[in-house]
Structure 1
Amino acid sequence: RRSKHGNSACMQEPNIKSGCGGLRDFQNLFWMAFFKYRTRTLRELQEREFVTEAERKQLEAAYDFLLRVRTELHYNTNRPQDVLGKNLQPAVASNLGYSERSPSQRIEKFMRDLYVHMRNVFLITRTLEQRMALVPNAPGRLSRLRQLLPGGRGRKLPEPVDGFLFVDGEIRAASNRIFSDSPRRLMRVFLHAQQRQLTLHPDLAQLIRSQLSLVDREFLNDEHVRETFLTILERRGEVAHILRTMHEVNFLGKYFPEFGKLTCLVQHEFYHQYAADEHTLVCLEQLDKIWEAKEPPFNAYTPIFLGLERPGLLYLALLLHDVGKAAKHEQGKHAEVGAALAMRAAKRLQLEANAADTVQFLVENHLLLASTSQRRDLDDVTVIRNFARQAGTPERLNLLALLTFADSQGTSDKLWSGFKDALLWQLHSRAMTLLTGGTEFRRASENARQELRDEVRGLAPKRISDEELDAHFAQLPARYFEIHMPGEIHDDLELTHRFMHRLVLEGQRTLAPVAAWIDDPDRGYNLVKICTWDRAGLFGKIAGTLSAAGLNILGAQIFTRADGIALDTFFVNDCRTGNLATREQREKFTGLLESVLTGDEMDLRSLIALQTSARSSYSAYLGERISTQIHFDNDASDDRTLIEIETEDRLGLLFVISQTFAELSLDISAARIVTERGAALDSFYVRELGGGKINSPARLLAVEKKLRTAIGQLEAAA
């Protein structure tokens, strides 16, 4: 049941009844206690020392709060409703008395209270389950540790180690004074648990919670405590469980106040599945999974994880990567704020300068690899060089790759895809080549180009003449050969040959395209390659035709030869299922595209409207939409302007944007298309038809205005 509903008490859209820490957990506790001990109330459980007075009050407050939330859900929906969706949260918060003027602050305060109550129910009931399983069916609570052990009084106790007893897979305290006698044991107990793969006995966990006042300034600056914690972080594959245990007894937030402020913190980004602290812990679990992974995509990252000299720095950076969200910061600036907080924590741990700089770098740039790979033109050498310059060293590049993958996996179990994984590895490979002094990006030299030509000649059949091959190499830009392998160049050459053969020998209509499909099931998409004469608005027409055929565009590579032949590659899948394109979709696209490009009257907007798209996975607050944001960057490329557009995804959006560029006389040379839970995050590299960037401020303003108008009209039509 818990796994079905996210296995966490801090879900962005929690199930109040059946989720972790929900009403059913509370009620299950009463049933277990009644059948085993005939207790009927929390006060009776307190009298039998199963719960403390503080725990009883926390459970009572949580039960009352959850009942009121569920009642409001039923009133608002007029039916049994247990999932507190984002669209219902504002109304429920207001009706429960949360009166902050800002809707986001009102929701944040309400949801944080809800998370605290559900977390208390989850942790306390789980502890009670353990306690009741340990205690035999007899009146009263057995007070002596010897009587808690299987075998009763006749069983010999093990010898204490550092004040602890290791019994039946658990750690128990030999005395209630172990922490007051030596506060350093508050950290060492977790190292013992990690080294011996033990869990904390419920009484020991409660003892730790009651002794947290010992985590004072002296404790935080204690070098022995510090060394124990850093040792815990160095044990690859065994860190996440221990840090989660620390958090569940409220120790982790005391030792790292920067992380403690994330506890039950609402994340407003639409793509997040968990509260901030739970997200971080899940990220750490994803990193642990890489250690001995046998299945993709995790096993692809195992070699670089094994090669890390100091994995503890990566674990520390991942623990702190979102701490900036709990501090005041401008929108989109939490990484910079978090980097300063991470450096403060690193200095408190007395890390050497290089290690502290590495942790700060990873926190500040934890979004860099994902944003660059998914929103930049990876075929542009300038993009690769700028990214490699930011990464700095091969070691930091590997750390970024691991952190990015773990962070993405921990954000939501539905956002990562084979396509995004391929983009990450593509950027990693090309940047690593630069950082290690490789020659991949110098293939444009005459010698390298000649070697590449000879390889393609060996692959190409005799029907493709040397003149045709030489023309292909002479009429494409250097960037094309820098990023294509010989086999890919051969495929494009074959496609161009087919196009010219139809044009010259078969007398086909001159504007008719030639298309080729390549299936890539391992990455979850198809490649469709189109060869035709270049013309104004070509990208938009192809994009519109793909949408009309029910296909989702994941990315695109666009090249035009000097003789006017366009070679465009689109990465696509079925927009409804996310699977590969069906045969019917391929045939529909091919037929429509030929009609559109040869001048037949085709109303693409109407054809797109006929497609019934799957319901967007973005769920907005009541009255809230994803606002359209447009950003221009003239530094990302030497000769093109990068235009980044973030808006709510809609059927035909890419068609409308590309058509707008055509109307503005802007040529699209490359595009990165990303969709996250119903939000479109698209990047376009454009140039003026006469060549060059968009430099005039007035021109930039006009482009933005026309784009906003076109997107707004599409939204109104929807």
Structure 2
Amino acid sequence: MPTLLEKLETSGANRLVLPAGHLPMQELARYKTFLKVETHRLKIVHRGGGGGREVCYARATLMDILLRYMWDAVMNSLSPESQKGVPSIALVAIGGYGRAELNPFSDIDFMFLHEGQVVAGNKPLPYLSKLMDGILYPLWDLGLKVGYSVRSVDDAVNAAQDDMLSKTSLIEARLVTGNEALFKKLQKAVLARCVEGYETKYIAARLQDQAARHNKFGNSPSMQEPNVKNGCGGLRDYQNLIWMTYFKYRTRSLKELVAKELISETEQKQLDNAYDYLLRVRNEMHYHAGRAADVLSKNLQPAVAHNMGYTDRSPSLRLEKFMREVYTHARNIYLLNRTLEQRMALLPPPPTRLQFLKGFIGRGKAKETEQPAVDGFKFIDGYIHAANPRVFRDQPRRLMRVFLHAQQRGLRLHPDLAQLIRSQLALADRAFLYDEHVRETFLTILNQRGNVAPALRAMHEVGLLGKYIPEFGKLTCLVQHEFYHQYTADEHTLMCLQQLDRVWEAKEEPYSRYAELFQKLDRPFLLYLALILHDVGKADGHGKHADVSSQLAERVARRLGLDGSATHNLRLVIEHHLLMANISQRRDLDDPAVIRSFVNEIQNAEALMMLTVHTFVDSVATSDKLWNDFKDTLLWSLYSRTLPSLTGGTEFIRAEEVQRELLAEEIVRALPGRISEEELHAHFGTLPSRYFQIHSSPEIMRDLSLTHRFMHLQISEHENALQPVVDWHNEPDRGYTVAKICTWDRAGLFSNIAGSFSAAGLNILTAQVFTRSDAIVLDTFYVTDARTGALANREEKEKLEELLNKVLTGDEVNFRALIAKQRVNRPLYQSYEGDQMPTQLHFDNETSESRTAIEVETEDRIGLLYAISEALAELELNISAAKIVTEKGAAIDTFYVNELDGSKILDPGRQSFVERKIRDSINKL
């Protein structure tokens, strides 16, 4: 049984041999018949399930056969004497034709290669002119799209030396017919003069071109109307990898890369399968459209799906199955390409943490000193590596913790580590899903406002996110049928998370107004979780997806151990995630009944703030054309009109009281015998309402026990009433150590505590500061080793307690000198010289009735909190509360202060003096 290629050759031999003396232009009918019959043969092979590469290669072979017979016919028409005098000439295929990959209506690009003596004054001599005319005119008359050039070896090489596209075309060049020695001369010249010495420049140009393509076509392999050729994960990405590895390793195929052990056989198989499938899709697009086509548009998808064998009775179901396969293959090309580009050092080193923060791209990074292994991982040159191949088998919880380490340090997973995770996903079993340590790590990742999307995208790309949240996993490459959606369901969700991160650090409208709400949320993880789960009901396909998503969210909340309040608000936001857009855009907001009805649905202020931000990011992540200023104004108006009903009335106040009473009753039932109810009532009666909003009953019990220990010291016989009580708790799943401190309030207390931590070599990630009305202070600090980012060790804890005891019992401690010694070791998040983030201060006298909120945003560094609080102490300002946040290498701290007489800082001159004092203190670090 002859092969397809043998049938093409036989057909050419039978149809394309011209009578003696005949030229191709005289035999157009013959060529038309050949092309018509053999093109139809290829279409039958394709529709019968023929592979993309098989059909494309056969199409290139078909063109080879046609051109060879035309070439021979023209040559044979010359007299014997003329044939002897013809100089060396070759017909060379370039571009896709040179790769021997021609889709049905792709251009046919070739070059007439000569040695120079067949061209005079830029005009071809008769020999070459007759050959060109004898081939080009018939091709044009046959309706073929032809791109051609006429060049000598030197011409070709000179044109390609500074042009990436010409260079690429030449490295794929292939001899169709003519002088083989001349073609080999071209190949040698290209290697010597266009490749050797140009490797770095060429790879950089290809990466730049790839980035530009991705930006142009949506920067995602999951676009609703993907560009199969040029989009993310398209055919060009695969080709790009082949071209770059040729320049770096002189390989021409993935098989050669496997032989050099640069990629695995599994990776090769995945890439080849994906490339073949997308070529097949493009073949069908060409056949169906009757012309070249690259964009798999919505109106093209149903017919392409049907013609490729997706024949479910339901049109939507067959479309879903087909597009899911398209997205899966495109995603494989995109992710594997990126992994291989990193592994084979085709990419420049990743930027520093601060460069990520400020959006710097392409700046080099100095080599980092390799740190000792932390939790089984090493952090080297911007990447996180496994310390040994058994790192996950020894402790499966590290599958989640590795993303926390990467997030906290601004690192990327090394390609080998990413592959190790993919190969060991079986460790994420049922026990892993219900493991409380894994849960704590996951929620900690979600709580890092402004820095969540990169961690979850990385988690999704290796397959862990869908394993840990199976409800979300079902969205992978799921088609969204709504016309306004740009992305698949999973990609839309990741884009939502990315938009929410953008809200956190926004300085410009419209994002900045939502930043205010986002920053007020005490449980940011809830909003991130709501976004992850808001569309999971779409995978079910039955009922309203918001209702189904809400039900599935409750199941996830149970697995994650969320309390009743968190679960309730999570479900509220997901169930109503379309409600605010609908009401704001379709209802009369001046009608009090509309607002009352909405208030009844939303129920509380936290849910309202979450839903407002959710609505905004969900909309802008759906399509870049969906949101506008008018919709933004309507949404903000609905929020503004609803908020007073949830915060200003007696109903709200009573709801707070009921919540506090329920907490107290729960704690009374679990109260240990050593703690009296009197202590409990004192605790509940002397702390602000915010304390009870953000603390769970176990946390309040821990604070009660700490306060009890402190009060016990006051009645002991020893002279230690001024000494603090410190309670340490390591949280390896969250990547930090918690230190709770209970003591009497006094001037400069916060500054002394912050200085003690820094002097002990501990970096403060965040802090919660509460002062009871009876002057008992309860401060909670979340800290890590300032040098390695690991948990606090025993020596650091002992040093902290020693310093605290000294400074709080009246001894002098030179914190500046002690902190300066810590600078000997490079702080984990220190930036490079010249990359300093500017310090910004803002005075807010509106948020609180009795205090001024001083917001300080600056680059995080060891001793920063001490420097700020020391300045506030010297200014004789009382710190009654503080919100300390470290995100992405930036410290964003808010101090609630008042003057000694209890007044706010209202005078502009006093504000300027306070700002100058804080800046001076920071600059001295």
| TM-score normalised to structure 1 length | 0.57
Q: Does 1:340 align with 2:575?
A: no
Residue among 413, 422, 425 paired with 2:636: 425
CA–CA separation in structure 2 for the residues paired with 1:155 and 1:305? 34
CA–CA separation in structure 1 for the residues paired with 2:570 and 2:368? 49
Q: Could you tell me which residue of structure 2 aligns to residue 13 of structure 1?
A: 225
CA–CA separation in structure 2 for the residues paired with 1:213 and 1:110? 27
Residue among 315, 320, 326 paired with 1:103: 315
The residue correspondences of 1:196-595 to structure 2 (distance < 5 A) are 196-330=409-543, 333-437=544-648
Q: Could you tell me which residue of structure 2 aligns to residue 505 of structure 1?
A: none
Q: Could you tell me which residue of structure 2 aligns to residue 670 of structure 1?
A: none
Q: Could you tell me which residue of structure 2 aligns to residue 27 of structure 1?
A: 239
CA–CA separation in structure 2 for the residues paired with 1:290 and 1:394? 19
C-alpha deviation, 1:44, in angstroms: 1.6
Q: Tell me which amino acid in the other structure corresponds to 2:492.
A: H
C-alpha deviation, 1:438, in angstroms: 6.6
Structure with bigger gyration radius:
2
2:341, 2:347 within 8 Å by CA — same for their partners in 1?
no
SS in 2 for 1:2: helix
Give the aligned CA root-mean-square deviation in angstroms: 1.9
- Per the alignment, do residues 365 and 403 of structure 1 end up closer, same or farther by CA in structure 2, a change over 3 Å counting? same
CA–CA separation in structure 1 for the residues paired with 2:368 and 2:440? 36
Q: Tell me which amino acid in the other structure corresponds to 2:570.
A: V
- Per the alignment, do residues 171 and 91 of structure 1 end up closer, same or farther by CA in structure 2, a change over 3 Å counting? same
Q: Does 1:37 align with 2:213?
A: no
CA–CA separation in structure 2 for the residues paired with 1:51 and 1:290? 39
C-alpha deviation, 1:232, in angstroms: 0.7
C-alpha deviation, 1:99, in angstroms: 0.6
CA–CA separation in structure 2 for the residues paired with 1:182 and 1:49? 29
CA–CA separation in structure 1 for the residues paired with 2:464 and 2:645? 43
C-alpha deviation, 1:79, in angstroms: 2.2
Q: Can you give the 5+ residue segments of structure 2 that lack an aligned partner in the other structure?
A: 1-212, 349-363, 651-925
**Identity score, percent:** 64
Q: Deviations over 1:316-364 (max 9, x none)?
A: 111110000011312xx01111111100000000111111111111111
Q: Tell me which amino acid in the other structure corresponds to 2:583.
A: T
Q: Tell me which amino acid in the other structure corresponds to 1:410.
A: A
CA–CA separation in structure 2 for the residues paired with 1:252 and 1:135? 26
C-alpha deviation, 1:90, in angstroms: 0.8
Q: Deviations over 1:134-163 (max 9, x none)?
A: 799xxxxxxxxxxxxx9xxx9985311111
CA–CA separation in structure 2 for the residues paired with 1:286 and 1:181? 36
Q: Can you give the 5+ residue segments of structure 1 that lack an aligned partner in the other structure?
A: 137-149, 440-718
CA–CA separation in structure 1 for the residues paired with 2:250 and 2:606? 60
CA–CA separation in structure 2 for the residues paired with 1:434 and 1:354? 20
CA–CA separation in structure 1 for the residues paired with 2:404 and 2:511? 26
Q: Deviations over 1:554-597 (max 9, x none)?
A: xxxxxxxxxxxxxxxxxxxxxxxxxxxxxxxxxxxxxxxxxxxx
C-alpha deviation, 1:270, in angstroms: 1.2
Q: Does 1:112 align with 2:331?
A: no
Residue among 350, 361, 386 paired with 1:173: 386
The residue correspondences of 1:29-108 to structure 2 (distance < 5 A) are 29-108=241-320
CA–CA separation in structure 2 for the residues paired with 1:135 and 1:297? 34
SS in 2 for 1:3: helix
2:472, 2:490 within 8 Å by CA — same for their partners in 1?
yes
CA–CA separation in structure 2 for the residues paired with 1:32 and 1:3? 20
CA–CA separation in structure 1 for the residues paired with 2:581 and 2:564? 27
CA–CA separation in structure 2 for the residues paired with 1:188 and 1:32? 34
Q: Could you tell me which residue of structure 2 aligns to residue 608 of structure 1?
A: none
Q: Tell me which amino acid in the other structure corresponds to 1:206.
A: Q
CA–CA separation in structure 2 for the residues paired with 1:108 and 1:99? 11
C-alpha deviation, 1:299, in angstroms: 0.5
CA–CA separation in structure 2 for the residues paired with 1:426 and 1:289? 22
CA–CA separation in structure 1 for the residues paired with 2:330 and 2:347? 26
Q: Could you tell me which residue of structure 2 aligns to residue 192 of structure 1?
A: 405
CA–CA separation in structure 2 for the residues paired with 1:395 and 1:155? 42
SS in 1 for 2:373: coil
- Per the alignment, do residues 238 and 31 of structure 1 end up closer, same or farther by CA in structure 2, a change over 3 Å counting? same
2:478, 2:539 within 8 Å by CA — same for their partners in 1?
yes
Tell me the number of residue pairs that the alignment of Structure 1 and Structure 2 aligns. Answer: 422
C-alpha deviation, 1:388, in angstroms: 1.1
Q: Could you tell me which residue of structure 2 aligns to residue 562 of structure 1?
A: none
Q: Tell me which amino acid in the other structure corresponds to 1:336.
A: D
CA–CA separation in structure 1 for the residues paired with 2:605 and 2:438? 32
SS in 2 for 1:165: strand
CA–CA separation in structure 2 for the residues paired with 1:351 and 1:47? 50
Residue among 186, 200, 215 paired with 1:3: 215
C-alpha deviation, 1:261, in angstroms: 0.3
Q: Tell me which amino acid in the other structure corresponds to 2:286.
A: H
Q: Could you tell me which residue of structure 2 aligns to residue 661 of structure 1?
A: none
- Per the alignment, do residues 94 and 300 of structure 1 end up closer, same or farther by CA in structure 2, a change over 3 Å counting? same
The residue correspondences of 1:133-144 to structure 2 (distance < 5 A) are 133=345
C-alpha deviation, 1:222, in angstroms: 0.9
C-alpha deviation, 1:389, in angstroms: 1.1
C-alpha deviation, 1:19, in angstroms: 0.2
Q: Could you tell me which residue of structure 2 aligns to residue 615 of structure 1?
A: none
SS in 2 for 1:21: coil
Q: Could you tell me which residue of structure 1 aligns to residue 395 of structure 2?
A: 182
CA–CA separation in structure 2 for the residues paired with 1:365 and 1:237? 24
Q: Deviations over 1:511-544 (max 9, x none)?
A: xxxxxxxxxxxxxxxxxxxxxxxxxxxxxxxxxx
Residue among 96, 110, 129 paired with 2:341: 129
CA–CA separation in structure 1 for the residues paired with 2:610 and 2:373? 40
| TM-score normalised to structure 2 length | 0.45
CA–CA separation in structure 1 for the residues paired with 2:594 and 2:555? 32
C-alpha deviation, 1:95, in angstroms: 1.1
Q: Could you tell me which residue of structure 1 aligns to residue 681 of structure 2?
A: none
Q: Could you tell me which residue of structure 2 aligns to residue 644 of structure 1?
A: none
2:456, 2:465 within 8 Å by CA — same for their partners in 1?
yes
SS in 1 for 2:345: helix
